[in-house]
Structures are given as structure tokens and as C-alpha cells.
Structure 1
């Protein structure tokens, strides 16, 4: 729908109990990566705590994405949790303690709610972040999601 503008992401969001606070992934890392910000990242197996994926920006905003992920695990301290794997091509994956809505509606980090869950996002793709300059440069065309036609993706997830 042209009136809606650019599609920011094409994926699925899951909410888990906050006890699932560990993430491990085989993809680009170790820091966050985006379609237009991944050239310096290395393919490997990485792990951290979910809260470590929150960027310490002055104004909370989109953060923590992992590009070209082949598989990812979100687990509790005993190693129980969920395993995610994309069927045909790598996925964008993120695991954060807040929803995109919660981060977008907080003007300062102290306005974020108390952590009650882990928010996992599995996506075919996410648009780039743009910002080539400090005065509002838009995302380059090649890093936007092409939503002109039918979009689909498949992935699997199972308990571990």
C-alpha cells in the first residue's frame, strides 16, 4: 500500500518470559548489524545476555539487530529455551527486553518499563538505518524492502 510508506521489517515477533535472558547466534556479529551497516562484521558464533543488545543511546530506539543469521538460540540459565533456524536463506534476528513500541515511546532510558519478558524478532529482512549524515539522510534505495509484490519466508523453531 503506497500510502503506508516504506516497510521497516518483514518478520514475526515472539514474547518469552524474561528468564530466557541468554542469546547465542551463528551470523554476523558481535555488535548489532543492519542491511547497510554490516561490512565490518564477521561471520561467527556469538553469545551474550539479552540486555547487552540494548544500545545505550540518549533516546531509546531501534537496536540489537543481527544480520545473516543461520540459527539462533534463546535460553534460560539452565540452557532451556528455543532454537530458531531460517529455512532457505539467512535471517535478521534480534532478542531484546523491550518491544519496538516500548522503545519508540520512551524519550529517555529511565522511561523504559521494568523488564518482564524477552522479545524475539525473526525476519526475512529489515530496512537499513540510513543516516549517512547528521541531518536526516534517508535510507538508500538498495537497503529498503521491496514490497511491490508478494513477500514470504519460512523458518522453524523448536524447544531445547
Structure 2
């Protein structure tokens, strides 16, 4: 049985009679991870609530010519044999996924990225996803596991994704392997397009404003709720924004409360949800050129920092600890249904 997670919150409070002290009395807060062996679902604090459990049995498996379809009561998942990706996730016939869950290594360059030369230096990672081909695809009915292996055309990278089906829940195990002479990676993760009605975002992690590897210590752990459109950070020139660092779970739901929950397995995730496509954000020169579309959800293992020592040369990029060198990475998370 998996274990739940509890946290210790610490705060430094200033007690004084001055008006400024009463207004700004909370000098500092931080949250540390505490070991816990409580069964998953036991409410260990006010931020963790018990979820309705789905049946662990798989009711129906259909091995079609071009797909594998798994149905468990009100949940239906489809895996494409042609692409190897999760292409559909339905709740009572309601389609959550508009475009398949795929690897993504790129971000819309920030002002600091342009200043440091990142778009040219790391452009390999923008182009490589379109060069991936499916090398192996398998389904183990006994273990309820789908495995896909993708490689690029010159075998520089390999991505192995394992999908463990547990009733209506899906465990995603992602592993990236690279050769050593590739440039640093902007981000390591997966991206999926969701139905535009899934505009309600709730997460347990740092917030409420955007946070990154080198831009997070001033944002405290908590439970936050916002619409995707209002949560988005609208920079004058559209660019990477709205990331949530160190997220343990996040939910995207529609007005009726139905949708999906992304839950970290071991290490916290980097999560962001946009009402625009990555391509639109990168190509737009001003806010007015952004066009509302389906929800873009990024489920990342990590993303490079935003830097900012200056804004005119390579020093504008992130410091070494906040870069992502090309090497092997692996992370695991769950996709779970949220139904009212």
C-alpha cells in the first residue's frame, strides 16, 4: 500500500505594537517534508482529503487494430498503437483529452532566455519531439500495463513510458535516456491538451503565484484554487509563465466538478496549465495575439530556472544548479478521475 504525505509548517512571527508589525508580522514561513506511514486516503492534515476510490478491476479490454481500449465502469482509456501515446481518457463519455499525452522538452523563451542565447543554443529540444518514432509498443494484459518506447532518428535519446492501469487510475512511469553531448534541456516532462471546460485549477504545492527552481522560496506551500485563465501570468511579451514548482497534486475540473487529478508518486512535480497553446505563446509578440483554446497541461519532472543576473548576455540564464544537463531522468505520477 502506498503511503500518504504529511508536512510540518514552520513560521516566524513578530509580535510588536507598531502598525507595520501588525500588518507584516509574518516574517517567514517554510514547509518541510515529514515521514509518514499512514495509508493513502487517511487525512493527515487539513490539506489532504479522502478521495472516493475507483474499483481496481478492469471490466473490459478491447484490442483494436490501431488501439488498445480499456473500460472500467465510467472510465475509458485509449492507447494508440500507431503513436504509443495515451490518446483518450473519458469520464462517463466526457472526453478529457483533446490531444495526446506526449513528451515535451521546450518552453516559450523568456526575455532572459533570449538574452542568454538559449533559443539557439538549446534548439535541439524544440525540434526533437517531432522526430521521435515508436520503436516498441506492448500490452501485458496480466499486469494491466502498456509500454511504449520512442527514439529519435539518430538514437540520441530514448523515452520509455510505462502505463500501469489500476481501475480508473493510471500510473505513468516516464524515463528519458540521452547521450552525453547534447545541450542542456529546458524542461523534462509531458504535455497534454485538455478540454477547454477544464478551467478550474486546484493544487497543493507552492503558490499562489508562479514559481520556478530558482524562484520559489518566497512562495509558501498550501492549497490553492484559481481559474486557468486568471492564473495565467500575462507578460507584455508572451513567454513561459505560470509554472507551479514542488506540486504534490493538482486537479483540473469543469464547472460541474468533473475532471482529472495529477498526483506525484515520490518526488513533487512542476505543473502548469495555460488557456493557450505553447506555439501560440511562443509566436505571439503581444498579449492581444494570444488566442484562447484548449487547456494545455504540463506535467514536468523539472524545468530549468529563469535566471536574471542581468538581461543582456549569457549571465541572464539560470545558475548551474538550476540547469538541466542532458542525462537520464525518471519520474512517476498518477492520473486519477475526479467525479462529483
Whichever structure has more strand as a proportion of its residues is: 2
Instruction: Report SS of the residue matched to 1:47.
Output: strand
1:68-92 deviation per Cα after TM superposition (whole angstroms, max 9, x unaligned): 0000000001110000011111000
Looking at structure 2, the residues matched to 11 and 94 of structure 1 have their Cα atoms a distance apart, in angstroms, of 11
Pairing partner for 1:128 from 302, 305, 309:
305
**Is 1:141 aligned with 2:317?**
no
- CA deviation after TM superposition for structure 1 residue 116, in Å: 2.3
Q: Distance in 1 between matches of 2:317 and 2:305?
A: 9
Find out whether 1:84 has 2:262 as its counterpart. Answer: yes
Greater C-alpha Rg? 2
* Among candidates 57, 61, 65, match of residue 243 of structure 2: 65
The unaligned stretches of length 5 or more in structure 1 are: none
| Alignment counterpart, residue 228 of structure 2, candidates 47, 50, 53 | 50
Q: What's the TM-score, normalizing by structure 2?
A: 0.45
Q: Residue in 2 aligned with 1:27?
A: 205
The equivalent residue for 2:74 is none
For residues 134 and 96 of structure 1, the distance between their equivalents in structure 2, rounded to whole angstroms, comes to 26
* 1:139 positional shift: 1.1
Please say if residues 53 and 63 of structure 1, whose CA atoms lie closer than 8 Å, have aligned partners that are also in contact: no
Note the C-alpha offset of 1:151.
1.1
Q: Superposition RMSD on alpha carbons, in Å?
A: 1.4
Alignment length, in residue pairs? Answer: 158
Closer, same or farther: CA 104–2 of 1 in aligned 2, 3 Å? farther
The answer as to 2:218 corresponding to 1:40 is yes
* Alignment CA distance shift 1:30-1:7 (3 Å): same
Equivalent in 285, 301, 318 of residue 107 of structure 1: 285
Cα displacement string for residues 10-51 of structure 1 (whole angstroms, at most 9, x for unaligned residues): 111111111110100000001000000001000000010001
Q: Partners in 2 of 1:146 and 1:39 — Cα distance?
A: 23
Gaps of 5+ in 2: 1-178
Matched, 1:14 2:192: yes
